[in-house]
Amino acid sequence: MKFSKAASPVPLLKILLIDDNRQGLLARKTVLEEQGYATATASSAEDGIAQFASGNFDLVVTDYKMPRMNGAEVIAQIQAHRPGTPIVLISGMVEALGLTEQNTGADVVLAKSNNEVSHLIRAVNRLLRAKIPKKPVRSQSIAAKAKYKTV
């Protein structure tokens, strides 16, 4: 498993991308790395599940339509292995198949479209926001220093 990284938030958050479409996989990888996330890629559902089981990922982005196993099945296996892992499901068939968060188990379901990139970035940032430590506001850091100052 090889991670790529760009300028990153601290700590470096890891995202697993699963898609049998190489172009889609590389496009999402590039976009998320530009946002500062480390990414690992899997070109099949089975490879993605194996990488997830042996790695420590903060979030998973998976396609829906893949050979031998669909995205909902991938999500079920990921959630069985590590419940609570945030998952984004992407599909070109969201409306046609009626894919929702409720019937897939994903935290966010996105349609492949012209707006996919901005929606993906927004969803990933929102889902991972709690994992990024916030810097204290200047007044909070001053108050904290004063609290521990001995007189």
CATH architecture of 14-148: 3-Layer(aba) Sandwich (3.40)
Predicted TM-score (pTM) of this structure: 0.79
Tokens of 84: 């609570």
The 8-class DSSP code of residue 24 comes to H
Mean predicted confidence (pLDDT) in 120-135: 82
pLDDT tens digits, one per residue of 64-118: 999 999 999 999 999 999 999 999 999 999 998 999 999 999 999 999 999 999 9
Q: What is the pLDDT of residues 3-54, one digit of tens each?
A: 544 444 446 899 999 999 999 999 999 999 999 999 999 999 999 999 999 9
Domain spans of the chain?
14-148
Q: Please report, for residues 71, 122, 128, the alpha-carbon distance to residue 103 in angstroms, rounded to integers and kept in the order given.
A: 11, 22, 22
Residue range 138-150: average pLDDT?
A: 53
